[in-house]
Amino acid sequence: MTTRTSDQTTPDPAADPTTDPATASVKTFESINPATGDVVGTHPVHGEADVHAAVERARATADWWAGLGFDGRQEVLTQWRGVITRRLAQLCDVVHQETGKPHGDAQLECALAIDHLAWAGSHAAKVLGRKRVSPGLLLANQAASVEYLPLGVVGVIGPWNYPVFTPMGSIAYALAAGNTVVFKPSELTPGVGTWLADSLREVVGDHDLLQVVTGYGETGAALCRAGVDKIAFTGSTATGKRVMATCAETLTPVVIEAGGKDALLVDEDADLDAAADAAAWGAFANAGQTCAGVERVYVHERVHDRFVDLLAAKARTVHAGVDVDAKIGPMTMPGQLDVVRRHVADALARGGRAVVGGNEAVGDRFVQPTVLVEVPEDSEAVTEETFGPTVTVRRVRDMDEAVELTNAGKYGLGSAIFTAKRGDDLARRLRTGMTSINSVISFAGVPTLPFGGVGDSGFGRIHGPDGLREFTFAKAVTRQRFKAPLNLTTFDRTPEQDTMVATLLLALHGRASQLPKLPRRPLETIRGRRRG
C-alpha cells in the first residue's frame, strides 16, 4: 500500500463536512507518487457518516438534475467537458503523479474519457427518451410507450489504473441519464477523483451533482450500504464479489466491471508486423495494468516463430522508467510486483522460457517487458490476471484450438484477432464481451459500443446505449385511447367474449402452435431405450 494515514485536529468541524463532530478530528491519508515515493496529496478518510451525508446531499440534488431534462443536462455536461479539456494538462499531471504513467498515456485516457462524456450527453435523449411502441392486437385500444427514467443516486467505485477513463465510463453515463453520483476513487488516486468533482463544481456551483468520498475499502463498503440506487463497480474480481455481497444486504443493484486475461489470436494469414506491434502495445502499455490488456497470445503454428521474433524485437525497444525515453512507468500498486514475480516464476518453473525479460525484469518499482513462451496452460501466468507488462505466447494447430484455449479461461472481458479473412466468424465464437479485429482494445474507445465482460470479468454494461440504460429503469405506460369492443380487464366479461378471445387466438397463433417437425430418431435407438 502506498498510502499513509494520520490524525489531524481540525479547528472548525462544522466548516468541514468530512469531520466527525463528535471527535473534532479527521483521519487523513496520503497519495504517493509510485515512481518516486513523494507525497502527492493528503485526503480525508471518509467514514460511514460522511458517506451517508454525501448520499443524502446527492439525493436532495437528484430532483433538480432530473428536472433539467435532456437538453439542460447536456448543456451542463458540455460545459464540464470544456473545463476538463481546457485544463487537460493539469489533470494529466495529477494522473501522472498518482499513477506514475507517462504524460502521453495520461492524455490518451483523458481524451477517450472526454469523448465518452460528449457521446453520453448528446445521445441520452435519443436512447432514453419516450418512445411509442405497438400495443399488439388484443389491446389495440391502448397507446403504449416506454421511456428510461433515472434511478436517483448512483455510487461509482473505481480503480487506479485508468483513474479518469474508467470511472468516467460510469459517471458520464449515469449523469447523462439523469442521476447524481457519489464517487469513491481508489485509495491510490484520490487526487484524480477530487479533481474531477471540483471541475464539475465550476459549472454547477453548490449543486451536489458529483461528490467524491475518499478513503480505503471501508469507504467503498460504506457507499454500498448507504442506500444508493445502484453501484457501478470497477476493480478486481475478488473485490467485486465483496461488493456484491455487501450490496445484497440492501438489494442494491450492481454493475461489476472486473478483471480480465485477454487473449490475442494470430491467424496464419495475419499481417504479422501489425500483430506484433499491437501485441506489444496491448501487453506492455500502462505497464500492463490494463483490464483489457493483452496477457496471452495464441499464434498459428505456421507463423508462430516469426511472430515471436517480431514481438521480442518490439519488446526490446520498450523500457519502464522515469527517463524521457521510458514508454512505461512503474507498477502503481507495489503489491502487484509480488503477483507479477510469482506468475513469471511459476511459468519458468513449469518449463516456460523467457524470450525477453523474465525474473530479473521484476524490480522494486518497475517491471521490464517480458515475453514468455512454452508456458503450460495451467500455469498462473496463463490462468490468472497478471496485471504487469508480461505476455505468454503459445503455438496452436489452428484457430479452432486458439478459440478453445481462449474460452477455457474463467475471465471473459475482451479479446483480439489478427486475421485477413476470418475476423467476424472467430469474434462470434469467442466468449468475451468485446473483440477487436486487427487492432487491440479499440472497443473501449468507441463510445457507441457497450463495454463489459462475462464470467469472472463481471456483468452489466457501461458505454453506448446499453451503458445509458444501465443507470435507468424502464418505465412502461399504457393510455386507453378508446373503449374496446372486447374489454378483457373487467369482471363483466361474458362467456361469449371469452369464446371470441379463443377464436381470435386461433386466428392469430393457431398455425404457429402446430407441432414442429422434430428430427426422427432411428427406430433402433427408440426400441433400445424402451428395452432399457
- For 89, other C-beta atoms within 10 Å of its C-beta total 11
H or E stretch covering 77: helix 69-86
Q: Work out whether 184 is an interface residue with ligand NDP (CB under 6 A).
A: yes
Q: Work out whether 344 is an interface residue with ligand NDP (CB under 6 A).
A: no
**Annotated catalytic residue, options 109, 187, 257, 385:** 257
Q: By rule CB under 6 A, what count of residues binds ligand NDP? A: 32
Does the CA dihedral 306-309-314-315 come out positive or negative?
positive
Any bridge partners for residue 132, and if so which?
Answer: 145
* Min dist. Cβ of residue 294 to ligand NDP (A): 13
* Min dist. Cβ of residue 496 to ligand NDP (A): 59
Among 58, 84, 114, 157, binds ligand NDP (CB under 6 A): 157
Distance CA 532, CA 524 (A): 12
Residue 444 DSSP class: G
3-state secondary structure of 144: strand
Kindly write out the interface string for residues 198-237 of this chain, putting x where it contacts ligand NDP by CB under 6 A and - elsewhere.
------------------xx--xx--x---------xxx-
Contacts for 338 with CB less than 8 Å, ≥ 6 apart: none
Applying the rule CB under 6 A, the residues between 27 and 46 that interact with ligand NDP are none
19 or 336: CB nearest ligand NDP? 336
Inter-residue contact 369 to 326 (CB < 8 Å): no
Q: How many helices (H) and strands (E) does the chain have?
A: 17, 21
* Min dist. Cβ of residue 457 to ligand NDP (A): 6
Any bridge partners for residue 395, and if so which?
Answer: 299
Q: Work out whether 166 is an interface residue with ligand NDP (CB under 6 A).
A: yes
Applying the rule CB under 6 A, the residues between 381 and 400 that interact with ligand NDP are 385, 387
Inter-residue contact 228 to 425 (CB < 8 Å): no
Q: Work out whether 172 is an interface residue with ligand NDP (CB under 6 A).
A: no
Strands 180-184 vs 153-157: parallel, antiparallel or unpaired: parallel
Kindly write out the interface string for residues 403-432 of this chain, putting x where it contacts ligand NDP by CB under 6 A and - elsewhere.
----------x-------------------
Distance CA 234, CA 406 (A): 23
Q: Work out whether 459 is an interface residue with ligand NDP (CB under 6 A).
A: no
How many angstroms from the chain centroid is the CA of residue 432?
A: 13
Kindly write out the interface string for residues 255-274 of this chain, putting x where it contacts ligand NDP by CB under 6 A and - elsewhere.
--xxxx--------------
Distance CA 286, CA 96 (A): 11
Nearest residue to ligand NDP by CB is 220
Q: Work out whether 332 is an interface residue with ligand NDP (CB under 6 A).
A: no
295 is catalytic: no
User: Could you give the residue numbers annotated as active site?
Assistant: 257
Contact residues for ligand NDP (CB under 6 A)? 157-162, 166, 184, 186-187, 216-217, 220-221, 224, 234-236, 239, 242-243, 246, 257-260, 291, 333, 385, 387, 413, 453
